[in-house]
Amino acid sequence: SDAAIGPVAGAVRWRAGQAAVHCSGALTLEPLAAARKYGALAGSWHPFQTFVAQGRAEGGAEGTATTLEGVTFGIEADAGLYDTLAELAERVGGVALPVPAGARALYHAASVMSCGYLTTLLHEAEALWKRAGLPPEAAGPAIGVLAETTLANLRRAGAGAALSGPTARGDEATVRLHLDALAASAPELLPLYAAVSARSAVLAEEVGRPVGETDWAALFAEYVPRAGQEG
């Protein structure tokens, strides 16, 4: 874990000419201070990729697939070490990206939102599918194809072109239909749906989509109490 980096670095007898490198996306080089103290160079080499332990797959599936081809590696390093880490990234098929200390927390938050939280979002979509009474075995394939198509569109044309859905087209009636259904069958998902829908409306406006005259904040507040208003 990230918390172990500092203690492990402090337990090693470092010397000049060595390099201490961690693979955390969120942490700066501060946990490697002990290595620097004794003359070693410090660096962070973080693959912007997902790694899941073998054996976690559901339904008896054989683990998960991971590749480094085309993966971005976020690198922060002392002078003299960056080029070595960048070359290492390229040797495994990746792309090197300098990520300074001040950017690392947001950089890592971006990775979590595009991976772990995406998984959570799709899991909740599967849960809604099942609550609708549709065949459970069809949920994964149906939602998977839709998600893969969306990601392909995102990579090819950008978020503005890939964005779809009722909020993005100003369809208040459909959004209300969703909110009513969630309120009745999955009220715990109302805050999530409202938050993502609101950001979709913002994105639609940013790229010049006609989103109508709906006051989305007021609409969502009808279903999800505003922060600070709950007694």
Structure confidence at residue 229 (pLDDT): 42
Total-model pTM: 0.85
* Contact in structure between 166 and 211 (CB atoms under 8 Å): no
Separation of alpha carbons 87 and 94, rounded Å: 9
Q: Residue 21 forms beta bridges with which residues? A: 43
What residues contact 153, with CB distance under 8 A and at least 6 apart?
Answer: 161, 162
Structure confidence at residue 109 (pLDDT): 97
- Residue of 14, 56, 21, 8 whose CA lies nearest to 37: 14
Extract the tokens encoding 101: 């200390």
Distance from the first to the final alpha carbon of the chain: 39
- Residue of 35, 108, 49 whose CA lies nearest to 78: 35
Burial class (CB in 10 A: 0-12, 13-18, 19+), 13: exposed
Averages of pLDDT over runs of 10 residues in the chain (231 residues) are 95 96 97 97 97 60 71 96 98 97 96 95 97 96 97 94 92 96 95 95 88 88 64 33
How does strand 41-47 pair with strand 19-22?
A: parallel
Structure confidence at residue 63 (pLDDT): 53
